[in-house]
Amino acid sequence: MKATFFIQTLGCKLNQFESDGIAARLLDQGMIAAQDPKNAEVLLINTCTVTEKAELKSLKLSKQYVAHRARFVFLLGCAVDRLRPSPWNHKVVLVPNNLKSKVPDLVIQYLEGRTPDVKEADPFDYRTRILAERTRGFLKIQDGCDVGCAYCIVPLARGRAVSRPVDDVVTSFQQLLDQGAGEIVLTGINIAHYRSGGVDFCGLLQRLLGIPGDYRLRLSSLEPGIFPIQFYELMRDPRMARHLHLSLQSGSDSVLERMGRPYSVADWLRMVWQLRTIDPSFHISTDIIVGFPGESNEDFESSLSVLKEAGAGRIHIFPFSPRRGTVAYNLKERLPSLLMNERLARLRSVSSELYRSYQQGLVGGVDRVLVEKSDANSASGWISRYVYVSVPTSVKRERNTWIEVRIHGFEINSGRLEARAV
């Protein structure tokens, strides 16, 4: 079918994996990817609901897309069950997460005027393929969550934790390598809770690292906890990225307890120090929620102190967002807007300083760039430590190839590292 489509992805890397898989299958079915949503007959929006802001962005974008020339607008994913699209018209199709992998079939059925016939879907049934414009392959190994943090809407949107069969993960991993992937990112809602056929998360990493090849394996994010020594031994493999997004949310144990987080600040710091024994410049990025109900000045100052102590790099900052259906929605002691904004501004300032300091600490070190973009004068891409680097070159470099570089400087005005090939 020669219809055109455009897919817009909001939110996490798991959404990105699912969007890539949907797009790949639509291309397999003969559809054509449009470069501009205004030129597409089918528009797909993979929504996010993790915060109220993300949900409102999904809603705003959806309304904009309805005004385009598209025959159908498909709204997918986490925000669907919470969006009420009235007064939109009949061309809007809502697809919840439990049917998302069947979106390609639904698109064809709608375009052909057939009655939709999709009753259930496998959460891991996505086409394993690197799209032409991408250099990294995303691989979904897990979905859902059973932890039940007080503020988190994800279990309501994604359901209970499920893991992809281990042999299926290994096969898809090899397929991505065969397609030329230089880097593969394992993604899910809580990948450390992976369990399938008697294989746990460390067992899965061991299976994947047993596959020969010159590739980089990156973990999308981990929840802190007590990890076995085997995990840190596996992280020493040179193919494992020297970066980990290790969610903190608060540097105060009392706030973590009210959040329902199953770890302490000491647990989080212990993981940071163990990773830094592997590589002193190991990049730790994290999340912080500002203004959880009852957060005191002391709690907030503790968060700043812990981030500085850890030498954190990138920090994703979120104001507390009450989500209907969660425990925290009904909690009192909400921060006044003025105080919330003051704390957000302070944390953003500290975040910028910490990331700048982290980048400066990389000067003099060696890493490898996986080329994403290149012309006759330069090539650019991500290093293992998840910092984007541009390298002067005398010839155009092929995508998904490696350049070993030495970091020789940091440009303060642009906030960019300067590197040269070695």
* Domain-located, residue 28: yes
> Is residue 350's pLDDT more than 90?
yes
**pLDDT at 135 exceeding the cut of 80:** no
For residue 212, CA distances in Å to 140, 176, 207, 230 come to: 21, 13, 11, 20
Terminal Cα distance for the chain, rounded: 48
Question: pLDDT at position 128, please?
Answer: 77
- CA dist 149 and 265 (Å) reads 16
Is 374 in the same domain as 354? no
What are the tens digits of pLDDT across the range 175-202?
Answer: 999 988 999 999 999 999 999 999 999 9
| Mean pLDDT, rounded, for 353-359 | 96
**Average pLDDT value for the chain:** 90
Domain end (from 208, 241, 274): 241
| Residue 131 pLDDT level (bands cut at 50, 70, 90) | low
pTM of the predicted protein model: 0.90
297 CB contacts (<8 Å, ≥6 apart)? none
Q: Is the pLDDT of residue 346 over 80?
A: yes
Residue 312 sits at φ, ψ, to 5 deg, of -60, 155
- Give CA separation, 55 vs 189, 284, 414, in Å: 18, 27, 32
What is the C-alpha to C-alpha distance for residues 203 and 199, in angstroms, rounded to an integer? 5
The average pLDDT across 345-365 equals 96
Q: Residue 87 has what pLDDT?
A: 38
Q: Are residues 327 and 231 part of one domain?
A: no
Question: Residues 293-317: what's their mean pLDDT?
Answer: 97
324 against 309, higher pLDDT? 309
User: Which residue type is seen at 344?
Assistant: L
- Mean pLDDT calculated for residue range 277-287: 97
pLDDT 10s digits, 294-304: 999 999 999 99
* Rounded Cα–Cα distance for residues 330 and 265 (Å): 25
What DSSP string describes 291-350?
A: --TT--HHHHHHHHHHHHHHT---EEEEE----TTSGGGG---PPPHHHHHHHHHHHHHH
Counting the structural domains of the chain, the total is 4
Q: Which two tokens stand for residue 309?
A: 């102590």
pLDDT digits (tens, 9 = 90+) for 249-273: 999 999 999 999 999 999 999 999 9
385-414 residues labelled b (16+ CB within 10 A) or e (exposed): bbbebbbebeeebebbeebebebeebeeee
DSSP tag of 246? B
End position of a domain, from candidates 111, 145, 180: 111
Residue with the bigger pLDDT between 358 and 90: it is 358
What is the mean predicted confidence (pLDDT) over 36-51? 89
Report the alpha-carbon distance of residue 310 to residue 351 in Å, rounded.
Answer: 12
Domain carrying residue 19: 4-111
Residues 256 and 192 in one domain: no
Mean pLDDT of 64-71: 78
On whether both 287 and 329 belong to a single domain, the answer is yes
